[in-house]
Amino acid sequence: MQLNQVTIGATDLERAEHFYTLLGLHLIVRDDDYLRFECPTGGSTFSVERVPAVSANEQVSVYFETDHLDSECERLREAGVVFSLPPTDMPWLWREARLHDPEGHNLVLFHAGDNRRNPPWRLTDA
């Protein structure tokens, strides 16, 4: 099994399209109620569907990995994106930055390299 697709809701698809294109995703499907993007590497897709309202209790965080975290965050800051946490080295051996999309969804841009799947504390029978 492989995770390939994540879909989130948005009330304003035009604003969502602008934001996720700015992040570097490539728009491949657009209709009145739906957007689908390809991630630049890895083959996964990410979608946004029109909803009447986005729940304030959103508990999902979407992680996007990049090998160039600091320069990507700088590019996005220069374009007006606000980060709630700038690029920071975390105790779990990732470097990550946190932000929210225009609808308030939690996003994390990060670089983990091999530590994403193979941290030193990985279970030996996994």
List, in sequence order, every residue forming a beta bridge with 46; answer none if it has no partner: 6, 37
- Amino acid 126: pLDDT: 63
Q: What is the pLDDT of residues 24-83, one digit of tens each?
A: 999 999 999 999 999 998 889 999 999 999 987 777 899 999 999 999 999 999 999 999
Q: What is the pLDDT of residues 85-107, one digit of tens each?
A: 999 999 999 999 999 999 999 99
Q: Are 85 and 40 in contact (CB under 8 A)?
A: no
Q: Which fold has domain 5-116?
A: 2,3-Dihydroxybiphenyl 1,2-Dioxygenase; domain 1 (3.10.180)
